[in-house]
Amino acid sequence: MNIGAYRRYLEQYVQEAVDHSDGTPTGILEYLETIKVSGWLVRNKTEKQRARQDAIKAFQEHRHWPIEIVYSHLGVTIKKA
């Protein structure tokens, strides 16, 4: 597994979910669950799937945590609009 690609996709997916949701852990989780990684021509498919799964797991298990703590737990930096 390419850890650099994994980290990049993890940050990309979380940022996209924050941008397209209400910013709550539940809203972010709901958006992450709509992201699809499929097809046989997808580059870095393993890294993309793992990043999506890890983000979903973090937001499911830590809904009660402050959102900044969940970001820190994942190791991502979110840019606010």
CA distances from 31 to 8, 10, 40, 59, 60 (A): 18, 14, 23, 11, 12
The reply to whether 80 falls in a domain is no
Please give the tally of structural domains in the chain: 1
Please state whether the predicted TM-score (pTM) of the whole model is above 0.85: yes
The reply to whether 9 falls in a domain is yes
Chain-centroid distance, C-alpha 7 = 10
Q: What tens-digit pLDDT sequence spans the chain (81 residues)?
A: 889 999 999 999 999 999 999 989 999 999 999 999 888 888 899 999 999 999 999 999 998 899 999 999 999 999 876
The reply to whether 41 falls in a domain is yes
Range of the domain at 14: 3-74
The reply to whether 40 falls in a domain is yes
